[in-house]
Amino acid sequence: MTRLNAMTTSLAGAPPHTRDRFLDLIRTLAVVGVVVQHWTMPVLGYSDGTLATGNALATPGWWIATWLSQVMPLVFFAGGAANLISLHRARATGADTTTATRAWLAGRLRRLLLPVLPLLAVWLVVPTVLRDLGVPEQPVAIGGAIAAQLLWFLAVYLLAIVATPLMAAAHRRFGFAVVPALALVAVAVDVARFGGVPLVGYANAVFVWLAAAQLGFHYVDGALGRLSTCRSLAMSAAGFGATALLVAFGPYAQSMIGMPGAPVSNMSPPNVALVGLAVGQVGLVLAARPLLTRLAARRPVAAALSWAGPRFMSIYLWHMPALIVVAGVAVVALGYTTPQPGTLGWLAMVPVWLAATAAVLAVLVRVAGRFETEPSRTGQVRSGRTGSDAARPAATPALTALVAASLLGATGLLGLAARGFGNGPELWAAFVVVAYVLARPVVSVGQAATTSEPDTNPEQPDSQGAADQTSRSLAGVS
């Protein structure tokens, strides 16, 4: 409790553009890792109207790479830290706790959902256009599924945002006990899943990723930030060791990503092996923290972080459509076939493939990224009038509306991830749109002042926590 109070006081007096370079760089490396892995995994071929797909990481022995390349634990770790920092900053503005929390939640929901809207607008029509152009149904269906499948992360992250005030309260009261408690719940879910109730396993999409986010809370309050290199490495060894024991003696897969044809996936649904992986990965990056912080302070790296940070959502949402464009032209239109993974031909192909896909992504982010980089921060709703009444103060939506927005948004995103854009996406897309509308400010006639909300991007960490002096000079990381 003392650490969190000290952290809140520190945040309240911190400079407005304070940055945590370590969290900035971890988030950047994680997003880049997601993108590069997704672009290099596909093994593709096309013949007689049928697109053949495979996974390069299914190559014998390559599963070990996924213990580092599966970076979602780090994404939720950094996201949990960012959420707690910004929540405390919002509560330190002087408003009462309930009002500040509602304003914080409304801002987070809007900024998470807004960048999704252009993706929906494009992909609601793309499958129809491709069919009209004569593209066979099977590759169209695969493209529609791939473009939507990663929306699962936004659904779970949205729920993690909504849970942040409750998890922060649990953190204040119970401290580190919350992490093993969540892990034990995840174990119970796995027992039921592998004991004959497989659908219950999807509950771990909440418990597993909340455990990873809770580790971020302990970084913010300084408990993990104060660990020495040796203790960080011991934490990493314990996490990876626990994961290895679960894989060796439990019903868990060796690969930390889903593999085609595998009887068990550690990711879909998540299982407790990912909690061990999260502890291992977090310990590893904490051990490298001094080096990573110095690296992030270098001018070229700082410039790259400053550019990428406000666009992370757009990069994540559009990197698979970029892959679809390149694969559509190269494989479907021109008949290119991916070489056998691991061969010289494959190794020579990968840099060219990555460069082509990155070029397409750059164009897509330039167009769609404005929905993320230029959100309205005024808290006001234009009324269509002129003069002094042109803009009325906007009120934060009621808590019931925000809860409804969260549930609708998560349902819509999960529906799209499960069914894709080529199989009746309209209802799920409508859920997402309605969720965004519910989270928008509403005109409050006669209200004296606009409700303020924290001036941070949904993914922006703004302080290093009580254990360290706040770092400066980076203006934006998502």
pLDDT score for 126:
95
Q: What is the C-alpha separation between 189 and 207, in angstroms, rounded?
A: 9
Reduce the DSSP state of residue 44 to 3 states and report it: strand
Average pLDDT on 186-208 reads 95
Q: What are phi and psi of 76, to 5 degrees?
A: -75, -30
The DSSP letter of residue 471 is: B
For residue 396, the enclosing domain spans 2-375+392-442
Closest CA to 256 of 241, 236, 272: 272
**pLDDT tens figures, 269-289:** 999 999 999 999 999 999 999
For the chain, what is the domain count?
1
- First vs last Cα of the chain: how many Å apart? 28
Does residue 384 belong to any structural domain of this protein? no
pLDDT score for 397:
85
pLDDT score for 47:
93
The amino acid present at 208, given as its one-letter code, is V
* HEC-encoded secondary structure of the chain: CHHHHHHHHHHHCCCCCCECHHHHHHHHHHHHHHHHHHHHCEEEEEECCEEEEEEHHHCCCHHHHHHHHCCHHHHHHHHHHHHHHHHHHHHCCCCCHHHHHHHHHHHHHHHHHCCHHHHHHHHCCHHHHHHHCCCCHHHHHHHHHHHHHCHHHHHHHHHHHHHHHHHHHHHHHHHHHHHHHHHHHHHHHHHHHHCCCHHHHHHHHHHHHHHHHHHHHHHHCCCCCCCCHHHHHHHHHHHHHHHHHHHHHCCCCCCCCCCCCCCCCCECCECCHHHHHHHHHHHHHHHCHHHHHHHHHCHHHHHHHHHHHHHHHHHHHHHHHHHHHHHHHHHHHCCCCCCCCCCHHHHHHHHHHHHHHHHHHHHHHHHHCHHHHCCCCCCEEECCCCHHHCEEEEECCCHHHHHHHHHHHHHHHHHHHHHCCCCCCHHHHHHHHHHHHHHCCEECCCCCCCCCCCCCCCCCCCCCCCCCCCECCCCCCC
Mean residue pLDDT across the chain: 85
Which structure tokens are listed for 148?
Answer: 């939507």
pLDDT score for 374:
62
pLDDT score for 394:
59
- Cβ atoms within 10 Å of 258's Cβ, excluding its own: 15
Q: Is 236 exposed, middle or buried (0-12, 13-18, 19+ CB in 10 A)?
A: buried
Does residue 82 belong to any structural domain of this protein? yes
Residue 407 has pLDDT above 70, yes or no: yes
CA distances from 23 to 74, 135, 168 (A): 10, 43, 19
Helix (H) or strand (E) holding 55: strand 50-55
Q: Residue holding tokens 């309209």?
A: 426
Does residue 459 belong to any structural domain of this protein? no
Residues 6+ apart with CB under 8 A from 174: 181
Does residue 465 belong to any structural domain of this protein? no
**pLDDT tens figures, 303-335:** 999 888 889 999 999 999 999 999 999 999 999
Does residue 471 belong to any structural domain of this protein? no
The amino acid present at 332, given as its one-letter code, is V
Does residue 383 belong to any structural domain of this protein? no
Q: Residue holding tokens 């941070």?
A: 456
Q: Residue holding tokens 């590759």?
A: 139
The DSSP letter of residue 81 is: H
Task: Give the range among 13-17, 60-64, 87-91, 357-361 with minimum mean pLDDT.
Answer: 13-17
Q: What angle do CA 138, 141, 143 make, to 5 degrees?
A: 110
Q: What is the C-alpha separation between 319 and 354, in angstroms, rounded?
A: 11
Average pLDDT on 419-426 reads 90
Q: To the nearest whole percent, how much of the chain has pLDDT over 90?
A: 73
Helix (H) or strand (E) holding 52: strand 50-55
pLDDT score for 259:
86
Residue 117 has pLDDT above 60, yes or no: yes
Which structure tokens are listed for 334?
Answer: 């021109």
Average pLDDT on 338-367 reads 96
Most distant CA atoms of the chain, gap in Å: 72
Residues 6+ apart with CB under 8 A from 458: 82, 107, 108, 111, 112, 161, 313, 478
